[in-house]
Each structure stands twice: as structure tokens, then as C-alpha cells.
Amino acid sequence: MRVLVVEDEPTLSAQLRQLLEGTGYVVDQAADGRQAWALGGVEPYDAIVLDLGLPLLDGRTVLQRWRAEGVTAPVLILTARDAWHEKVAGIDAGADDYLTKPFHGEELLARLRALIRRANGRATPVLVCGPLTLDTRSGRASLDGEPLVLTAHELKLLSYLMHRPNTLVARTELTEHLYAQDQERDSNTIEVFIARLRKKLPAGLIETVRGMGYRLQPPGAGAPP
């Protein structure tokens, strides 16, 4: 899952990046409103953490522009503790949730997980696809109740697919969501990780649609019409 962190305070921005990367997210950062507006308008983020008090362009204006341009990524805004009016303005501008400063890292992670789940039509933190289970809170996967040993990249790939069961996902989409803007992107690498995952999962769980991408589906489910 790929997240954009928009925060102009360097220490907090670095802490947020460390927190998110430490739990498996791919993170891009913006330190001012103009940069945030540009990135959010062209990059396919799974969620955005947005501070409202930004230089060059304030966070609420950035959010309003995103929504007007059709950006649908869920947005978690950060506000000062006593600025209740900022919370209201942020929600009215198109935010999906808010968090007041200072905050606990675990709460931010929980809210992000919930936003990403809801954006993908998932109601619970435990994702299930046939015999495969992924607990998004702990980042642990299991097969028929037995723990699966996955690398960090395998887990990121599996998590993205499990948030979109029975959905055709293009290789380019996986590449865009699994690598940060400043990382080298090679869609052929996705094939390598898919191959490694398949060795650890039941046959047929990850279907290849030739020339198009991949679909995660329970064994025997068959492709949707």
C-alpha cells in the first residue's frame, strides 16, 4: 500500500515515514501544499495523510482541488488539538477522517487501515480469501491456520491483492502501488514476486490473465463474468 505524507515539520514528517515504512507501507512525502497538490493529482495513492497548516498552499485548499479534480484516495487530515473548526472545514472539504496533534502512532495506523479497508469495500481488519487469511493489524498471513513466512515485498503484494479479491489487477497498477516515487520501478520484478508467492500458496489462488494482470480468488471460484 502506498501512502502520501504531507507535513512541513521535518521531525514529524520523518517520524511518520519511519512509522509507516516500519509497518509495510510505501511512503512518498511532500513538505508544502503545491508539491502535495502535484503529487496527489498524478500518483495513485491508497491513502493520504494531510497536515492542514502548510506553506505555499494550505491543506484545505489542496484537498478541495484534489476532490474537484476527481482524486478519490482516502484522506486523513492532521489538525491542532484545539482547532475544532479546522476539523469541520477539513471534513467539508472532502477529508475522510481526522487526527489531532499530538497523536499516538498506533491510532494513526489504525485509522489508515480503516480508511483503506473502507475504500476497498472491506469491513473488518482480517481479510480472507479461501484458506488464506491476512490480519492487517499485525501484518501476519496464514494458510489453513498455519503461519505463512513472507518477505516484506511478498507481504506488500499479497496485501494489495487481498484488498481487491476477484478483481483483475494490472502489473502496472501493482508497480505503482508497491514502489515509492523515488524508487526504480520495474514491472518485471512483480512477476518474480508473484512466482515466489505462488510457491507458498495453493495452486490457482493467484490467476494470471495473460497480457492484462493478476486476479486473487478462492480455489474453484472461477473468473467473474
9-66 pLDDT tens trace: 999 999 999 999 999 999 999 999 999 999 999 999 999 999 998 999 999 999 999 9
CATH architecture of 2-119: 3-Layer(aba) Sandwich (3.40)
In this structure, whether the domain defined by 126-216 belongs to CATH 1.20.120.80 is answered with no
Name the pLDDT band for 81 (thresholds 50, 70, 90): low
Query: Grid coordinates standing for 77?
Result: 487530515
Q: What per-residue confidence (pLDDT) applies to 184?
A: 65
Spatial strand order in the sheet of 132-135? 126-129, 132-135, 140-143, 146-147
- Distance (Å) of CA 222 to CA 127, 130, 156, 201, 217: 19, 13, 24, 17, 8
Q: What per-residue confidence (pLDDT) applies to 182?
A: 63
Domain layout of the chain by residue ranges: 2-119, 126-216
Backbone torsions φ then ψ of 20, nearest 5 degrees: -70, -45
